[in-house]
Amino acid sequence: MTLALEWAAKGLYTTSPNPHIGCVIVRDGLVIGAGVTQQAGGDHAEIQALKDAQARGHDVRGATAYVTLEPCNHHGRTPPCSDALVRAGLGRVVAAMADPNPLVAGQGMAKLAAAGIETSVGLLAEQAYELNIGFFSRMTRGLPWVRMKTAASLDGMTALHNGVSQWITGPEARADGHAWRARACAILTGIGTVKADDPRLNVRAVETPRQPRRIVVDSKLDIDPSAKVLQGGGTWIAAAVANPEKEAALRAAGAEIILLPNASGKVDLPELMRELGRRQVNELHVEAGGKLNGSLIREGCVDELLVYLAPMLLGDAQGMFALPALAELSQRQQLKYHEVKQIGEDLRILARFTHH
């Protein structure tokens, strides 16, 4: 199963919106076939593994398949994998987790068992869950898994008051940040960051065959149509105020406008998250300024913080999250540390909100 998870991780930058699944077929302690889910519409991991075994001249009848998620049982863009495993005559199928997709939910394993194949579910489930945390989030909540990335000094500052922020963290932490960008389906920022830094918001520091979609929260459509974040097209702009003239210019630049006003004339952030879920965004990576970061946290839109802390003090400067002052501790937002790791000279902290 560990090997199947390693295969699944090969799909980390490519399979969205499909989950990243690995499959390994074993007979007499030897791996005779292995595969990873291809891009949507392509082969699933189980089919890849069966083809691999066949290409290597192995007979899979009676063999055991280890797969990181329950084989699908429905006709999506491809026929059900459970049928293919039954047809191939496998003796046993071990899945790390049941599929959270209501179209599957246990039926894949049930079909295998009904065909006389020995089945079990739950081996290394936690690792399989982490690998597809966004897919599980979208299937169970209709929402992407939202990870907010920020880099700060040890006293929690992200930039000087004059805006200078390059570079607080070292090259290793920056490359690591790009690896987190690469695995996300989309990267979200605010108009403040676009105006201040004109970022490209793409993946550069690591090799990736696919660039995540870029999303800008821009209530009044203040963005310049020549902004770098629009180059190459496909950017989504979430706005609150219609402006046909500006919208036309932005569409000409290849952007799509999503109008989602809330009662106070700003972008309705919880509704934007639901819309991204409908658009099959599994993991959303947020890299924004303190203001938008604060709004997203305040409105309960964030699942996890990805914080890089540099061993330095910046004094009075710009903070990570613009949150209102609290009158008492009971109003605090509670998180728990999921993982703490040193990356180069810096500390990387993954902390999850406990209200989920």
The residues annotated as belonging to the active site are 46
Burial per residue of 211-220, b for 16 or more beta-carbon CB atoms within 10 angstroms, e otherwise: bbbbbbbbbe
Q: Of 119, 124, 100, give the one whose Cα is nearest residue 109.
A: 119
The residues facing 27 across adjacent strands are 30
Q: Are 47 and 59 in contact (CB under 8 A)?
A: no
For the chain, the helix, strand and coil percentages under 3-state DSSP, each to the nearest 5: 30, 25, 45
- Measured between alpha carbons, how far is 241 from 266 in angstroms, rounded to an integer? 8
Other Cβ atoms less than 10 A from the Cβ of 324: the count is: 8
Q: Are 82 and 57 in contact (CB under 8 A)?
A: no
